[in-house]
Amino acid sequence: MTAPLKHSAAITVDVALGDRAYDIMIGRGVLDTLGTRVAALRPGVRTAIVTDRTVAKHWLEQTERSLAEAGIATSRVIVEEGEVSKTYAGLEKVSEALIAAKIERNDLVIALGGGVVGDLAGFAAAILRRGVDFVQVPTSLLAQVDSSVGGKTGINSPQGKNLLGAFHQPVLVIADTSVLDTLSPRQFRAGYAEVAKYGALGDEAFFTWLEANHADIFSGGAAREHAIATSCRAKAAIVSRDERENGERALLNLGHTFGHALEAATGFSDRLFHGEGVSVGMVLAAEFSAKLGMISEADATRVERHLASVGLPTHLQDIAGFAQEGLADADALMALMAQDKKVKRGKLTFILLQAIGRAVVANDVEPALVRDFLQQKLSG
Ligand code: GLY
CATH number at residue 45: 3.40.50.1970
Is the CB–ligand 1 distance for residue 275 below 6 Å? no
Residues 338 and 225 in one domain: yes
152 is catalytic: yes
Running DSSP on this structure, what letter comes out for residue 178?
A: G
The answer, yes or no, to whether residue 2 has pLDDT greater than 60, is: no
315 is catalytic: no
User: Would you say 24 and 173 are in contact if contact means Cβ atoms under 8 Å apart?
Assistant: yes
260 is catalytic: yes
Say how far apart CA 156 and CA 84 lie, in whole Å.
9
256 is catalytic: yes
pLDDT value of residue 359: 98
Largest CA distance in the chain: 62
Residue 5 lies in a domain: no
Residues 225 and 296 in one domain: yes
Of 161, 197, 201, 235, the residue with max ligand 1 atoms within 8 A of its CB, to mutate for a pocket test, comes to 235
Residue in 235, 271, 306, 342 annotated catalytic: 235
User: Would you say 266 and 83 are in contact if contact means Cβ atoms under 8 Å apart?
Assistant: no
Residue 1 lies in a domain: no
Domain count of the fold of the chain: 2
47 strand-pairing partners: 74, 108
- The atom number, within ligand 1, closest to the CA of 238 reads 5
Boundary-marking domain end, from 163, 182, 201: 182
Mean pLDDT, residues 222-237: 97
pLDDT value of residue 267: 85
Reported pTM: 0.94
User: Would you say 223 and 5 are in contact if contact means Cβ atoms under 8 Å apart?
Assistant: yes
Residue 108 lies in a domain: yes
pLDDT value of residue 379: 86
Residue 2 lies in a domain: no
Please state the separation of Cα 195 from the chain's center in Å. Answer: 9
The answer, yes or no, to whether residue 9 has pLDDT greater than 80, is: no
User: Could you tell me which of 253, 120, 110, 91 has the C-alpha nearest to residue 170?
Assistant: 110
- The atom number, within ligand 1, closest to the CA of 149 reads 4
130 is catalytic: yes
Residues 320 and 332 in one domain: yes
Residues 277 and 132 in one domain: no
Distance between Cα 243 and ligand 1 center (Å): 10
Distance between Cα 73 and ligand 1 center (Å): 32
Say how far apart CA 143 and CA 57 lie, in whole Å.
18
Amino acid at 108: L
**pLDDT mean across residues, the chain:** 94
Under DSSP, is residue 356 helix (H, G, I), strand (E, B) or coil? coil
Boundary-marking domain end, from 155, 182, 209: 182
Mean pLDDT, residues 145-172: 94
Residues 221 and 358 in one domain: yes
pLDDT value of residue 33: 97
Strands 46-52 and 358-365: unpaired
Distance between Cα 148 and ligand 1 center (Å): 9
Residues 367 and 230 in one domain: yes
Residues 335 and 206 in one domain: yes
7 is catalytic: no
Task: Report the 10 Å Cβ neighbour count for 226.
Answer: 21
Mean pLDDT, residues 321-342: 79
Distance between Cα 146 and ligand 1 center (Å): 6
Residues 229 and 260 in one domain: yes
Is the CB–ligand 1 distance for residue 201 below 6 Å? no
Per-residue b or e along 190-209, where b marks 16 or more CB atoms closer than 10 Å to that residue's CB: bbbbbbbbbbbbbbeebbbb
User: Would you say 373 and 222 are in contact if contact means Cβ atoms under 8 Å apart?
Assistant: no
Residue in 28, 86, 93, 152 annotated catalytic: 152
Under DSSP, is residue 194 helix (H, G, I), strand (E, B) or coil? helix
Say how far apart CA 11 and CA 23 lie, in whole Å.
10
pLDDT tens profile 137-156 = 999 999 999 999 999 999 99
Q: What range defines the domain where residue 362 resides?
A: 185-378
Q: Give the helix ranges, DSSP H, for the chain.
A: 34-41, 53-55, 61-69, 88-100, 115-127, 141-142, 185-202, 204-219, 222-241, 256-265, 274-291, 297-309, 330-338, 367-379
pLDDT tens profile 96-116 = 999 999 999 999 999 999 999
Boundary-marking domain end, from 157, 182, 207: 182
Residues 370 and 230 in one domain: yes
